Structures are given as C-alpha cells and as structure tokens.
A and B are shown apart, each in its own frame.
Chain A
Amino acid sequence: MAERKVVPGTLDLLILRTLLLGPLHGHGIATHIQRTSDDVLQVEHGSLYPALHRLEKNGHITSKWEVKDRGREMRMYRLTPKGRKQLAVEQGRWEELARAMARVLKPV
C-alpha cells in the first residue's frame, strides 16, 4: 500500500472540498480524505486541527457542537459562503498546477 503525506499547502483545499458535501467533524474529515483517495493520502489526524482552526479564524468554515449518534457530542464544521469561494480559488490554482506538472512530465 503506497501511503503519501498530503502535499504541503493542499490540506486546506482537501478540507474545504470534503465539507462541500455537508457538515462533518474532524475525525470524519480525516477518514473521508483517506477513503476517497483509496488510502493513498494519509492525513496525520492531529495536523488537521490547526488547519481547521485557521480556516475557522479566517471565516471559511464555522463550527458548532452537536449531539451525534449514540449521544456523543461532536464539533461539526460546515462551509461558509466565503469558504465556497475560497474552495473555487484554491481548486482552480491546484488544477492549473496539476496541468502544468502534467505538461512538463508528459513523455517526449
């Protein structure tokens, strides 16, 4: 199994993209990223939290404590309209980068 750390600077993008699907707690975000990338992208769970708090401070996401299944209280994060715009910007930037990489790396 090939495990990869997320590319630096892309964690915010991954979080925002995950939250586009609906509100989720920290653990849910981590497992979602891992699963959807077929376990290629390994997020060290702890590193998620500074990113989440920074996004919240910047107003891209909000958080709220909610009682979830089996009575567990979880802190749920959801995307704000500002976050949605930020997602579009960052996704565009990433795709540009990916295209550029692809062009450089294509077989001669």
Chain B
Amino acid sequence: MDNRDDELEREIRSHLELEAEERQVRGMSAADARYAAQRAFGNVTRTREDVRAVWTRRWLEELVQDARYAVRALRNNPAFSAVAILTLALGIAAATSIFSIVRGVLLQPLPFKDADRLVQIIENVPAAESFSGRAMRIASMNQSEFDWWRTEARTLSHMAAIMPESSTVLTPEGTERLAGARVSPALFAMRGVSPVLGRWLRADEERPDASVVVLSEATWRRHFGGVPSVINRTITLDGQPHTVVGVMPEAFGGEAFWMPFAAGPQRPGTVTFIAVTSRLADGVSLDAAAAEANVLGQRLRGVPPETGAPPRFDVVREQDRIVAAVRPALRMLVAAVAVVLLIVCANVANLLLGRGTSRGQELCVRGALGATRLRVVRQLLTESVVLSLVGGVAGVALAYASVSFVRAWGVIEIPARFRFGLGPLSTTILPRVDEIAVDPAALAFAVGVSLATAVAFGLMPALHLSRADGEVASSGLNIRAGISSAHTRAGQVLAGVQMALATALLVGAGLLVYSFVNLSSLPLGFDRDTQIFQLVSPGEYRPSRKVALASEVLERLNSLPGVTAAGFTNMAPPLDPDDDESTIVPAGWPLVDRRNPGEENRSEQRDITPDYLRALGVRLVEGRWFDARDTAGQPRVMLVNQAWVRRFSPDRSPVGTMASSYTIVGVVEDMRLRMDSGRMPGGPPIVEMEKAVFMPLLQEMPPAEVLDRPGRMDMGGSGTTGGSYGWSFVLRARPGPLTAADLRRVIRDVDPGLAVEDLTTMGRVFSALTARPRFYASVMALFGAIAAVIAAIGVYGVLAYSASRRTREFGIRLALGATPRQVLRLALRQGVIITAVGISAGVIAALGLTQYLGSMLFGLTPLDAETYLIVAIGFAAVSMFASYVPARRATRISPIAALRYE
C-alpha cells in the first residue's frame, strides 16, 4: 500500500515538473511556471484521495476511519470510557460465570451413559417408627434388604450397592491408606465406562471371599508404577491378599479402588446402611418406579401407610439429588446475576444517552459539513460497537478468570470423615465443580445483550438528530434542548430502575452476609484451635492390640513438650454427621417420650479417655473429671452436659445421682457434637447443642479375650476398637513447638503400621462445613457491591448531566440573588427523588423476593428489619453523595461564567 502511495507521489511530481518545464519554455519565470502547473493540476490531496478510493473499497476505508475516530473519541473521554467498559466487563463476566456454573452443575447430565436413567430410592420414615424419634428421609438402604429389592423390583433394570471402605495397602513404596469402595458389579453396566486395563468385576465375584480388586487409574499410576503387568498381581489390602483384575479410568469414579460388595452378616443390634444406585428399566417412568417401590415397600415393612401421609418411598433422579443441596442457591445467584446484567445495561444505556446528547452539536456540525445521515449513524454505531467490543474482551477475560477461580476455590478441604455432612459429592462448594467451564452459549448471550444495548442506545442521538435535520445546524442550541428533555426523562427512569434493582440485590446480599456472620460466630462449646486426627491401625491387627497401641500413642503424646492435653474416642469426632446416640435416663423416665413430640430422651454418647474434653477446651461446671479410679471393674461413672441436666434434673445438681447404671460424677458445658445434616436443602449444616453423656472409654471396653473372640465384627462404622476408620484423637498444645512431622514420627515410632489421617483443627473443620454459606454470601456481597457502585454512577451521571445543562439557569438564579444553598437544593432535588423512589421500590421488591432465601438463612428471617434499614440508609447515603458532587459543582460556578457558558 505504501509502495503504491510512493509511486503515485512520483507520478504526480513528474507530471507537475513536466508541466512547469513546458510553461518555462514558453517564457514564464520558474516560480510562475510552478504555480501555473499546480493550478492546472488542481487539488493534489484530493487527487490522491480519489486515486486511493479507486484502489480500495471505500466503505472499508471509512470503517477503519470510523473505528480510529471512535477509539480517539473514547480516549478523549477517559472517565466515560472507563466506566462504560468496566461496567460492561463486570456485567459480562458475572453473567457468564454464573450461567456457566449453572449449566455445568444443574443442566449438564452426569458424565455416565444414560445418566438421566440413574435413580435412587428414598424412604420417608415417620417419626413414630424412627429409631431416633424424628421423621427421617433416608436415601440409603438397610444392607440386608438390598438383595430382596434387587430380586423384586421390575421397574429397575440394575441396582448397585456402594459402600465406602478404606484399606491399608502394601505398595512397593510402603504402607498407604486408600479410600475405596465395595460395589456391586452392576455398577459397570450402569455407568458405561470402559476399563483402561484388564476387566471390571464379574457378577460371579459378588461374594465375600472373592478377593479381587479393581484399581483406579490414579492409584495404579501413583502406587503401582502404571505398568500393565499389575494385572493378575496379588496385592495386600488390610493384610489380605487380593488379585488385581483391572484398572478403571478417572471418569468412572473418584474412589481409589473397588472390591465386590456382598451383603454380610449384621453385627448384632446394629443396622448397616448402604448407598444404592439404580437404573430405570427402559421405557419406565419415574412415577411408575415410585409406584412399584411403594407396593414393594409395603410388603417389606408390613405396615400400611398412614392416611394422608406422603408416600413412604420416593424414586428420584440421582442428578437431581446431587444438585438438590445447591439448587436454591444457584437459582438465587442466577436471579442476582440477571439483576446485575440489567443494571449494567441500564447504566450503559444511560451513559450513552448522556454522551449522545452532549454531542448533538458536533453531529449537527458534521451534518452541515456534508456528512450524510447514514454516515453519522454509522459513526455512532461504530463507536458503540468499539466500546462494547473492548468491554466484551475485558469481560471475557474476567469471565475465564472467575470461572477458574471458582474451580480452584470451590474445593472444600475437609477430612473425609466430615464430608457426608455436606451432602452427596461434597468435597466441593458446588457439585461437579471440576466440570465447570466457560460456556460459549452463556458468553455469547452476555456479550450479545450488552452489544445490543450499546448499539440501541448509542443510536438514540442519531434519531433525535434526524428529527431535527431540517433545522439549521448552527442553531445547535435548539436541537440540544429538544434532545435533552427526552434524555433527562429516560435517564431519570433508568437511574431509578438501577437504584431499585441494586437495593433489592443489596438486601439479599445483606441477609446472607448477616446469616454467615451469625453462623461463623456461633458458639461451638469447644476450642477451635484443638487439633484432631484419626489414628488408623492396619485391619489385620487384633482388636486388643489396636486398643493397646492407641493407649501407647496417647501416653507418648502426653509426654511431648508443648502438649497440654490429649485424648481419644472410638466414636465420632465433634461436628461429625454420624450420631452415636444412647438412652441414658434417670430412674422414672421413659426411654422414648411419645407424649411430647420434639422432646426426646436420647443423648449423644461418647466413650472418652480422661483428658478428652479438657483437650477440646470444654470446661467442667461441677463435680470431677474422669481419673485413674475409673477403670474396668470399678463402679460405672459418667459425665453429663448442661443440656442433659436441663432436661432431666433442672432443679437440683445431678452429681452423685444415678442414671441407668451409671453414677454421674460431673457436669460439663454444652458443646456441638454433631452436625444436623437433615436441614432444608441449601441450608448450612448447623450443629445442634444436644444432650450428651460421656463414659470412660477404658472402663467400657470389653476385656481382651472378649475383644479378640473370633467372629466378633469389627469393621465399618464406629467399631469398638477403632476398626477401619480409626481412633479419633484430640490434642491441645501450646502454639509453636509441635509440628505435624513430629506427630507422625512419634506415632510411627510406636508402630510402623499406624497411620495418621485427617490431621487438622476443629476450626478448620467448622470453616469447611460453612464454606457454602460463605461462598454464597461472598458472591452475593460482590454482586451487591457491583450493583450499588454502578447504580451510584448512574445517579451521578444523570445529576451531572442535568447540572451541566442547567448551568445557565443556575447562573441566572445566582445573578438574581438566589443563595448558593437554594441553588444546591434545587440541583439536589432530582437526586433525592430518584433515590427515594428507587430505594422504596427496591425495598418493596426485596420484601417479596427474599422469602425465597428463607432456607439459606441462619439466625434471622428474610424480613430482618435491621438489614433492610442498614441497606436503605447506607445506599441512600451513597446515592446522595453521588448527587451532591455534581450539584455542588453547579453552585460553585460564577454567574458570569455560567451566562457565557453556552
């Protein structure tokens, strides 16, 4: 292109020289000749332009010109451009990330074959039959009933049990603790994922003595070198030899290994529940399956359903169940982000309107200089498109950043022990967080909406211009006046709408933030700094040896420098979702209080070592702790908490009295031992202060000969001797000297087979359990802040524009003797009206909308007056400040300057 320009330049120059020479020959002076030559040639620049126009297609060049001009115009007005671009970017990023998340989590099918055919049977157990006295919704199945269901159910083509199982595995590098599962071979057909190597479990291996195992690809690579020869190799799981028959890819499931599940004998007096997943038979509807489940269930339970009660059995899609816990929250976020997007569009519209109006004169001048209307429209269009493209690119970048942030941040670091309290697939804030990716459709939608807004409102001035076209361009004043009243009205409405939307959003955000503050400042009754861990002994050790090892570890821990108290229990640690309940009541109390529903006589029970509660930071209210007296063969003793005392002995001290066969030796403060996982979906897993009793572990432990008796079951759940999940230790140490490495070394010294799992503090467990409410509150707070800032900018823009338009009027008023105060009031009036109307409308909207937040709030109702008041007052203050700045500026101007202004 430059080359062609150069050539043209040479051609014209040689032409001019030749002409000048000829004229000189005819007797002109050199200077005259040169001048005459130029006159004969005409306008050189125009010639050049015209020739160039021949070369290039004209519109393309004009487009480049428009774009260049647009960029220059945007750069000349950095405040406008920055606000518009930032607004667009925030809106696009917020909308894209939330819609991508919703699509990934709620709408995308599970990554399995026939994912929408996978279902679960859920049993609604009425309070009257429930062993805990509460109505329950049980998604798992009594393992002794599994085979019966599988044989009888016609509407379900496959049923598979999944029972988590951890095993100590002897790998070439040493002992490892792996979290696997016992599953039914049918799972393979249901998920339709092929093995990487070897084969899946066969149907005939569904027996307790099959001794075969399938490894996950990750386990295979990390612990077995990723070599194909692993097939048919024998590996040791909890001391038992197992043959590796296959390797399954990551897509099949998150477990480390799979072994065949076979319903085993029940431990006397216990019921083992297993998770069961089923596949609807082809052509069968959910309703048909539920109807059959109720027929079968009635045969099994033998009790007719209560009249009017909901059906005892539900059949629900697995996918729906997985996302049930987060669906209300995601709906809320979608609504919130839609509001943000609306505010963004309103703001961009407002900005463009204001800018378009102030450019009325410029456009008129352009028109007068010969620009066609089409050309002006194209110019405006180009500017809008350039603006929204820049905003769009920034928004896309921001969207990718925030989605990857959610992916990285969405993983809840929580020991496996506590995960079930968070619901299914619960190691993440959102289920399936690792499948979330920026969704192209969502991105296109968000960019499209903002582009459409920018184009529509960017063109408004052109419409006004064409209406005023007949008028003389130089009387731009009239045109401005005409456009501006229309704009002012539109701008006021837009600003008011923004205020209303932002208010509603802020109220929602405020409620969630308050709720989270309530939640995180909840008294737990124990010290958050207490360290906890699970001590796991290899499955093949004799039970009495496991007890001895745990006691030895405790002794060694107590002798470590810095340790102030340590203890362990064979039951669930604090905040665990499992309950270890028992009914320990004083003489004269019934075991189950059927007369007062909601009041029950069961208590949480923990068997503990003497220092266990002290290590947790629980204080003794009266009586004494356990000590060396409380051993086997001595009178059975127990500690009770204040909640227990309130229920059973509110009027006098229970110390020294008997309950069941125990003598109460002390009373301790209340603590939250257990999480309540039965709350509404989406709600925080709040722990209740419950009645609790504590017994000395060593006094309760059967003697070694009983423990080691062959056939005594000690697997799964909370086995007497810390079976497969281990002993739950608590440890309090002065900060500093004791490190995790020290701890592990000490424990390895006691026995190299012992493993330490889930070493963390109670505070971290609690913060992980409240991660979801925290996530929702943070996102909503962020949205609320964005909305508030954008809305404040909107009000500022309207006020600044109207103040600048009325500069002349203010000047006249000041000249005629109005005080600056009066003028200020006049300038502020508009802002006050917009703020008052906007915030009132927002509060009314919030009153209606926040009821949907009910299940997510803790410690306050959706109509919490304080939140509404703080939001309304705070936002009004922000909005008044945004109005005050331009209004104040308007009154500062001197009357003379104001009158000259136009």
Contacts and interface: CB of A to CB of B under 8 A. Distances in A.
Interface string B1-30: 000000110111011011100100000000
Contacts of A46: 12, 41-44, 46-47
A23 interface: no
A94 B55 CA distance: 27
B746 interface: no
Interface in B40-74: 40-44, 46-47, 50-51, 53-55
Contact of A49 (B8, B17, B18): B8
Given A46-B42, A57-B54, A72 B14 contact: yes
B47 A47 contact: yes
A47 B42 contact: yes
A95 interface: no
B11 A26 contact: yes
A75 interface: yes
B51 A27 contact: no
Contacts of B47: 46-47, 49-50
A45 B51 contact: no
Interface in A47-74: 47, 49-50, 53-54, 57, 65, 72-74
Interface residues of A, number: 18
B53 A45 contact: no
Nearest to A73: B14
Given A44-B42, A46-B42, A73-B14, A27 B54 contact: no
Contact of A44 (B7, B40, B54): B40
A57 B54 CA distance: 8
B556 to A, nearest CB: 94
Contacts of B43: 46
Contacts, number: 57
Contacts of B7: 65, 75
B50 A45 contact: no
B665 to A, nearest CB: 107
B629 to A, nearest CB: 110
A26 B54 CA distance: 17
Given A26-B15, A44-B41, A44-B42, A49 B51 contact: yes
B41 A45 contact: yes
Contacts of B54: 50, 53-54, 57
Contact of B14 (A50, A53, A74): A74
A46 B40 CA distance: 8
Contacts of B53: 50
B50 A73 contact: no
B36 to A, nearest CB: 11
Contacts of B15: 25-27, 45
Nearest to A43: B40
Contact of A45 (B8, B17, B42, B46): B42
A56 to B, nearest CB: 9
B45 to A, nearest CB: 9
A45 B46 CA distance: 12
A72 B22 CA distance: 14
Q: Which of A50, A54, A72, A73 has the most chain B CB atoms inside 10 A of its CB?
A: A50
B33 to A, nearest CB: 14
B479 to A, nearest CB: 36
Nearest to A74: B14
Contacts of A26: 11, 15
A45 to B, nearest CB: 4
Contacts of A75: 7, 10-11, 14
Interface in A3-50: 25-27, 31, 44-47, 49-50
A21 B40 CA distance: 24
A50 B53 CA distance: 8
Count chain B CB atoms within 10 A of each CB in A46, A53, A73 and give the residue with the most: A46
A55 B44 CA distance: 20
A65 B44 CA distance: 21
B10 A53 contact: no
A50 B42 CA distance: 13
Contacts of B55: 53, 57
Contacts of A25: 14-15, 18
Nearest to B22: A31
Nearest to A44: B42
Given A27-B15, A27-B19, A72-B18, A50 B41 contact: no
A79 B41 CA distance: 23
Contacts of B10: 73, 75
A27 B46 CA distance: 18
A73 B42 CA distance: 22
A25 B19 CA distance: 12
B18 A45 contact: no
A50 B51 contact: yes
A50 B50 contact: yes
Contacts of B14: 25, 27, 72-75
Contacts of A72: 14, 17-18
6 contacts: A25-B18, A46-B46, A49-B11, A50-B50, A72-B14, A72-B17
Given A26-B15, A27-B15, A45-B41, 16 more contacts: A25-B15, A25-B18, A27-B14, A44-B42, A45-B42, A46-B12, A46-B41, A49-B8, A49-B51, A50-B51, A53-B54, A53-B55, A54-B54, A74-B14, A74-B18, A75-B11
